[in-house]
Amino acid sequence: MELTTLNIFLQVSQCKSLSKAAISLGMAQSHVSTKIQQLEKELCTELLVRHNKGVELTGAGEILADYAQRILRLVNDAEKTLHAGASHGNLRISAMQSTAQSFLPAMLSEFHQAYPDYRIRMLSGNALTNIDRVLRYECDFAYVAGDVNSAELACLRLTEERMVVVCDRHLSSIEQYFQEDDASVVAFPSGCAYRRHFEEYLSEHGIVPKNVIEYDSIPAILASVCAGMGVAALPGHIINSQVQEGVLCSYELPDNFSFIPLNLCYRNNLKLNEAMQFFIKINQKM
């Protein structure tokens, strides 16, 4: 069904006359009649009862008239919203938990002050999930830790996060911990850039953890480390308060593993409106 045909049908139902509807629409009566006949043929049902004084809706016609009113109202609302410009819209973001709880709140607050009518949709995921969501058009922007190699994505490097290893007790070295019989790593599931970064460090030093305990939550990871279940590699800014309070001990990684880049990624073919450009500008101030 075409919107123009639905509009013609609605005019006929309201005027209860093909000729009056044609005048109202500025069309020939024959064109209006043809469109109604085509619609009835398409739906395989009679919509109007023709008589000498005009037309009446059948039961099916009344149902269609109700739907047509709602459809055309929604289309009109959509056009008004989109024509309003960049002051209205949706901003879809997929972020890692570390980014969502550290950098994002201040940036989203600034964005909301500038564009209060924008609806912000937040998703959480690891680096691989976030990249996939952008490529599948499921979100507009994604925060991704680590290097990103995709010809389809534009990546803005925001900062470099300092990586540290956290443990529940003092160690002479990270290597010392992995000499223990029950040495374990507490980490996010596969796909996490922080986990991959730590695994590369361990591999380079010939270290194979006895066990990897997986959690999909930063609080759960930190609670497990505090309970002595293993060590974890995370950005330093995530665990600063626990280290300062003496709850956890942190250890720096060697220089070549000290930092991991944090990127804002979006599709190369994304049409950036005024609001999206403002969001990128906020991120550039990080």
Give the tens place of pLDDT for each residue, 47-96.
998 888 888 999 998 999 999 899 988 888 777 666 555 556 889 999 99
- pLDDT for 83: 59
Query: Cβ of 141: how many Cβ atoms within 10 Å?
Result: 22
Domains of the chain listed by start with CATH number? 3-83 (1.10.10.10), 89-159+261-284 (3.40.190.10), 163-257 (3.40.190.10)
CB atoms within 10 A of CB 273: 12
What DSSP designation does 44 have? T
Please provide the average confidence, as pLDDT, over all residues in the chain.
90
Closest to 95 in 3D by CA, of 104, 86, 87 = 104
Model pLDDT, residue 1: 78
In this prediction, residues 246-275 reach a mean pLDDT of 92
Q: How do residues 187-214 score in pLDDT, each as one tens digit? A: 999 889 999 999 999 999 999 888 999 9
Q: Which residues of 207-234 are buried (b: 16+ CB within 10 A; e: fewer)?
A: bebeeebebeebeebbebbeeebbbbbb
pLDDT of residue 221 exceeding 90, the answer is: yes
Q: What is the mean pLDDT of residues 109-128?
A: 93
Rounded distance between C-alpha atoms, residue 126 and residue 90, angstroms: 22
The pLDDT value recorded for residue 286 is 78
Tell me the whole-structure pTM to 2 decimals: 0.68
Q: Is 245 exposed, middle or buried (0-12, 13-18, 19+ CB in 10 A)?
A: exposed
Torsion of CA 92, 98, 101, 105, to 10 degrees: -50
Average pLDDT over residues 163-172: 91
Q: For residue 80, what pLDDT is reported?
A: 67
The answer to whether 120 and 225 are in contact (CB under 8 A) is no
